[in-house]
């Protein structure tokens, strides 16, 4: 017996280790209701312990490397390479101002949408709070599109929290460790995100293929799906809030597994292969977050100030228009728009007969709000005004109720040119 073991020792050790691992695999895989095998999304205790050990072994060197890299980059960017920062800052400030105005204009639409949603008992979830995290490592395998971030349970991260960048969605938190977390990217084969095509409103599930390219699977062929169409999150998966950018349609390919279905290949909006800093959505609420509300208040104030300024300008121009004597036409031509011609255009027949009639002399237009400077105004100027405009006192007062003023007392030559008031 002993000699048998000695003779086949290598083989027996191999078989024992293989058997142990096969049993371990069998524990992790279960059959779903659809009859297909699947790995448990929630790891059993032993498996989670192994993952925790692996993470604890790999994360500290990764964190150290990343901190060193970040320190060098910060040293360069924050102290050595500051050329053009003022210009950039100025440009950014302009962009902020512009975006604030745009935000204010969109605010009304958003509020209207909220009112409609509340009527329909549907609550839109807004990104309420995010946590910035650094991507520090990967799985090391091209068949597993997961990466690690430097924040974990110590920052109250939880499973299934959405991970995004300002460009678009990235993935979701799959596993949380004490000081790090594992994120499943949207281009993994096992990922799934509810998305919708922005123009055609076709819904589908986004997941990755073997090459790590996200695609919307199980779509019925539709001629309307064109390259370049934007893809956004649908909000139905309870992970990603609705309306976040996902990417654009690159093209359509037949589904290899199911006939009569197609896969829509998507170019992700976020740079999934160049992830450095990501945002974890730690909270979503059916209202805007405080900082966004403050931004919107600022935007509204800015917009109000701008509207006031525009009003002031309009008012000033109206006052100027009123103060300037206008030209009016006491006997306008009988042509009306109803006769099929624009009022400003003269008919050829009439043009020929015009020289025979009274010569057309431009008349002063009737001001909308007559004041003391208006020819024929009734109000008497004050003593001070008397000294400044003695000529206006001599004008013949006209009754207020008269809509058509009398002929001007002394039309200036400048106004006889016939410039009509708008």
Partner 1 sequence: MNILGTDYRRDLGIRHYPLLIYALTPLAALVLQALLPHLLRGYAWFDLPLVVTVYFALVRRDPIQGTLMGAGLGIFEDALTHHAIGANGIAKTVAGFLAGSVGGRIDVENHTIRLTITFLLSLLSGAIYVFIYRILLGLDLQWSWLAELAKAVGTTLIAMVLYPLLDRTEIRD
Tell me the torsion sign for CA atoms 331, 333, 335, 336: negative
Nearest to 199, CA basis, from 218, 217, 222:
222
Q: What is 152-167 written as a DSSP string?
A: -GGGT--TT-EEE-SS
Which one of residues 175, 280, 367, 370 is an interface residue with partner 1 (CB under 8 A)?
A: 175
Q: Does 253 bind partner 1 (CB under 8 A)?
A: no
Question: Which residues within the stretch 118-147 sit at the binding site for partner 1 (CB under 8 A)?
Answer: 135-144, 146-147
Tokens of 289: 């977050």
For partner 1, the closer of residues 35 and 359 by Cβ is 35
Which one of residues 9, 159, 311, 396 is an interface residue with partner 1 (CB under 8 A)?
A: 9
Question: Which residues within the stretch 362-421 sit at the binding site for partner 1 (CB under 8 A)?
Answer: none
Q: Does 25 bind partner 1 (CB under 8 A)?
A: yes
Cβ neighbourhood burial of 171 (10 Å; 0-12, 13-18, 19+): buried
- The residues, any chain, with a CB within 8 Å of residue 138's CB and separated by 6 or more, are 146, 147, 148
Q: Does 265 bind partner 1 (CB under 8 A)?
A: no
The distance of closest approach from Cβ of residue 6 to partner 1 in the complex, given in angstroms and rounded to an integer, is 12
Q: Does 314 bind partner 1 (CB under 8 A)?
A: no
What is the C-alpha to C-alpha distance for residues 88 and 68, in angstroms, rounded to an integer? Answer: 27
For partner 1, the closer of residues 184 and 196 by Cβ is 184
Which one of residues 7, 8, 29, 360 is an interface residue with partner 1 (CB under 8 A)?
A: 29
For partner 1, the closer of residues 196 and 262 by Cβ is 262
Q: Does 346 bind partner 1 (CB under 8 A)?
A: no
Q: Does 50 bind partner 1 (CB under 8 A)?
A: yes
DSSP β-ladder status, 169-176 and 126-138? unpaired
**Strand spans (E) along 104-243:** 126-138, 146-149, 162-164, 169-176, 181-185, 193-197, 203-208, 214-219, 230-233
Which one of residues 160, 273, 306, 371 is an interface residue with partner 1 (CB under 8 A)?
A: 273
**Strand spans (E) along 177-309:** 181-185, 193-197, 203-208, 214-219, 230-233, 245-254, 262-268, 277-285
For partner 1, the closer of residues 273 and 308 by Cβ is 273
Q: Does 150 bind partner 1 (CB under 8 A)?
A: no
Q: Does 352 bind partner 1 (CB under 8 A)?
A: no
Which one of residues 124, 125, 179, 190 is an interface residue with partner 1 (CB under 8 A)?
A: 190
Which one of residues 7, 21, 396, 420 is an interface residue with partner 1 (CB under 8 A)?
A: 21
For partner 1, the closer of residues 274 and 345 by Cβ is 274
Mark residues 53-72: x for contact with partner 1 by CB under 8 A, - for none. xxx-xx--xx--x-------
User: Do the beta carbons of residue 227 and residue 250 sit within 8 Å?
Assistant: yes
User: Do the beta carbons of residue 162 and residue 195 sit within 8 Å?
Assistant: no
What is the C-alpha to C-alpha distance for residues 181 and 190, in angstroms, rounded to an integer? Answer: 18
Q: What number of chain residues touch partner 1 (CB under 8 A)?
A: 54
Which one of residues 83, 86, 201, 274 is an interface residue with partner 1 (CB under 8 A)?
A: 274
User: Do the beta carbons of residue 238 and residue 187 sit within 8 Å?
Assistant: no
Nearest to 212, CA basis, from 264, 256, 253, 267:
267
> What is the contact surface with partner 1 in residues (CB under 8 A)?
9-10, 13-14, 17-18, 21-22, 24-25, 28-29, 36-39, 47, 50-51, 53-55, 57-58, 61-62, 65, 135-144, 146-148, 174-175, 182, 184, 188-190, 209-212, 272-274
């Amino acid at each position: 017996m002993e000699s048998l073991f000695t003779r086949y020792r290598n083989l027996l050790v191999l078989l024992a280790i293989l058997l142990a691992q096969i049993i371990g695999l069998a524990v992790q895989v279960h059959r779903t209701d659809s009859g297909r095998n699947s790995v448990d999304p929630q790891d059993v205790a032993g498996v989670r312990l192994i993952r925790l050990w692996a993470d604890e072994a790999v994360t500290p060197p990764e964190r150290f490397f990343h901190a060193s890299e970040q320190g060098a980059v910060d040293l360069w960017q924050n102290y050595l390479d500051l050329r053009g920062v003022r210009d950039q800052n100025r440009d950014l400030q302009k962009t902020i101002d512009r975006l604030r105005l745009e935000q204010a204009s969109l605010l009304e639409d958003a509020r209207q949408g909220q009112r409609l949603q509340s009527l329909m008992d549907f609550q839109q979830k807004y990104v309420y709070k995010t946590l910035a995290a650094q991507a520090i490592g990967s799985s090391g395998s091209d068949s597993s599109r997961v990466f690690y971030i430097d924040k974990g349970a110590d920052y109250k991260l939880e499973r299934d929290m959405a991970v995004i960048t300002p460009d678009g969605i990235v993935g979701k938190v799959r596993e949380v460790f004490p000081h790090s977390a594992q994120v499943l990217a949207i281009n993994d084969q096992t990922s799934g995100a509810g998305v919708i095509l922005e123009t055609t409103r076709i819904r589908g599930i986004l997941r990755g293929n073997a090459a790590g390219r996200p695609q919307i699977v199980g779509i019925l062929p539709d001629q309307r799906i064109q390259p370049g169409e934007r893809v956004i999150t649908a909000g139905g998966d309870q992970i990603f809030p609705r309306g976040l950018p996902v990417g654009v349609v690159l093209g359509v390919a037949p589904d290899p597994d199911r006939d009569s279905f197609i896969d829509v290949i998507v170019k992700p909006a976020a740079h999934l292969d160049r992830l450095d800093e990501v945002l974890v959505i730690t909270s979503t609420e059916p209202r805007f977050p405080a900082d966004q509300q403050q931004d919107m208040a600022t935007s509204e104030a800015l917009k109000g100030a701008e509207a006031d300024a525009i009003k002031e300008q309009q008012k000033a121009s109206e006052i100027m228009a009123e103060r300037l004597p206008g030209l009016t036409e006491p006997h306008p031509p009988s042509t009306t728009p109803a006769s099929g011609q624009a009022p400003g255009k003269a008919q050829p027949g009439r043009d020929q007969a015009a020289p025979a009639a009274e010569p057309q002399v431009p008349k002063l237009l009737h001001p909308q709000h007559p004041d003391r400077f208006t020819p024929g105004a009734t109000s008497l100027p004050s003593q001070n005004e008397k000294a400044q405009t003695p000529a206006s006192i001599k004008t013949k007062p006209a009754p207020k109720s008269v809509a058509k003023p009398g002929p001007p007392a002394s039309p200036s030559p400048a106004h006889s040119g016939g410039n009509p008031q708008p």
